[in-house]
Structure 1
């Protein structure tokens, strides 16, 4: 059986964010808000509980490893359960954890689309930096819709699905998106037939993507913002959720409406921004989700396929 482990469930900056004193961050520090602290989003997949495919390398990866002993199985003097890494995009909160893995004893197998590998070679040259340490072994992910087998997984297949979103702010293609700047991931356990669709960054749901979502037993998708103008109203940014490449949860055509239309047995939100009221377990917004059977991911959550 394939197990999906949520290592981190927050958006960039984590929760509470280090420099933020919004209602949520200030409240959780003072114990005035009923909310769990969260690290920046990442998941890992395993079939044997020892060897893992890491999906996104969060800046919080060292804390996530400490919180997940199976990622450090101690089979030898120097060891790691992380057999390979797959990147969904080139966003800083999904890639800079690679630097924390620089003491790896061999080149780190890295699976990503050609646009993401290009950004990590040029605009944010992590591949060049890491060549002076463990080094990366790049594997371009094809976008032809065919299932892939990526070690250490043997029964489970993964299929990259191009998404309508944005390249990172540092990318020269921020305003000229390329196919593959951002992907979702279909994971199928071939023994059980169960299927999960994972997309922590999602700006728009096309008709094709809706069909993908309808075919999933479990959806684990972008829950970054409650409203499109969330950051504007709190005076924390001059950009809307859509301008940052995220589909807001509420409102007509929002993520909640999308999830309501799906037959999936589990509907889970991940990549939650520190400003989002759903982090407060007693908030009306959280009750709104619960009434619809929509879950909010938390660090350490496990999902069996």
Structure 2
């Protein structure tokens, strides 16, 4: 099973178009210690030809240009993207659906019922695409049962409901429901190896901890280093927790959760990294601390084989 990181940044990317934080300035000035990143998405394949797109970011066109595996060339109009799986209804994970409208057949979209409702109402991507290629919705179960995707005969997906935040346009924004946000446990049945993908994670509960312990590869929320990161920089009044993200630092942060996992060789990778996060600086003390703990920082183009 192949897993390709298409985008490793949080919403807005790096550099963000209107941001002048230290990291965004560093990228614009060509500082080699900070690399540009597109918005969060991965792709999964068994054969290296047919790919499941997990999240369709606004940067999907740039990501396809940078990933020859996804282009396909079996017909005058073709793509290696077989379908899309959505983990939530946030703009940075769904807006790219509109850029896939030139398909000749309806786009298969796997999403939970709450996410699909948001994409038919508050952010009506589904009805909009009905005027173009159309969409075939495949409901994702959130009761712990797994689901499969056509073309990936030996891959099993299991949704793990997460404690995070629904989009501002969702009716569930102030009253979250199960299925607003999910993580994905992706299992290669041939090798019995698994990946846990959770770019938006507000709290590690028992179900999440069990999924993390079972995974050989973790691609988990790396949005903020500190809970008050945006407040300290004067960029927002909100804390990381208010936005549905578990900060890395602190006694109950993501680093502590990853440190507590059994030591059996699983790769621990932070993904969905906000442009303000100091871990983006390769020569910084925060990156050095992660390295000491065996935690990696995702970048666009990373390729894993499980």
- Shorter chain as normaliser: what TM range? over 0.9
Q: Which runs of 4+ in 1 moved over 3 A?
A: none
Equivalence map 1:24-39=2 (5 Å): 24-32=23-31, 34-39=33-38
Give the TM-score normalised by structure 1. 0.98
Cα distance in 1 between the residues matched to 2:191 and 2:294:
23
Which residue of 1 is the match for residue 135 of structure 2? Answer: 136
Give the structure 1 partner of residue 91 of structure 2. Answer: 92
Aligned to 1:274: 275
Q: 1: distance between equivalents of 2:253 and 2:28? A: 30
Q: C-alpha distance in 1, partners of 2:214/2:164?
A: 21
For 2:211, what is the secondary structure of its paired residue?
A: helix
Decide whether the 8 Å contact of 1:53 with 1:152 is kept in 2: no
Q: Helix, strand or coil for the counterpart of 1:171?
A: coil
TM-score norm. by structure 2 comes to 0.98
- Alpha-carbon distance in structure 2 between the residues aligned to 1:33 and 1:45: 29
Does 1:286 find its partner at 2:287? yes
Deviates more, 1:285-294 or 1:255-264: 255-264
Deviation of residue 33 (structure 1)? 5.8
Distance in 1, matches of 2:211 and 2:49, equals: 30
Listed as ranges, the matches of 1:76-225 within 5 Å are 76-225=75-224
Any residues of structure 2 matched to 1:50-65 within 5 Å, and which? 50-65=49-64
Q: Deviations over 1:93-122 (max 9, x none)?
A: 000000000001100000000000000001
Structure 1 unaligned spans of 5+: none
User: What is the CA–CA distance in structure 2 between the aligned matches of 1:205 and 1:54, rounded to whole Å?
Assistant: 25
Q: Once the two structures are superposed, what CA deviation does each residue of 1:257-293 show, in whole Å capped at 9, x if it has no partner?
A: 0011113520000000000000000010000000011
| Cα offset, 1:211, TM superposition | 1.7
Give yes or no for the alignment of 1:298 onto 2:296.
no
Q: CA deviation at 1:151?
A: 2.0
RMSD: 0.9
In the alignment, is the contact (CA less than 8 A) between 2:141 and 2:147 conserved in 1?
Answer: no
Q: Quick one: distance in 1 between partners of 2:259 and 2:164?
A: 22
Q: What does the per-residue CA deviation read over 1:151-205, in whole Å, with 9 as the maximum and x for residues that have no partner?
A: 2211111101101111011212101001000000001100001011100000011
- Where does the alignment leave 5 or more consecutive residues of structure 2 unmatched? none
The alpha-carbon deviation at position 126 of structure 1 amounts to 0.6
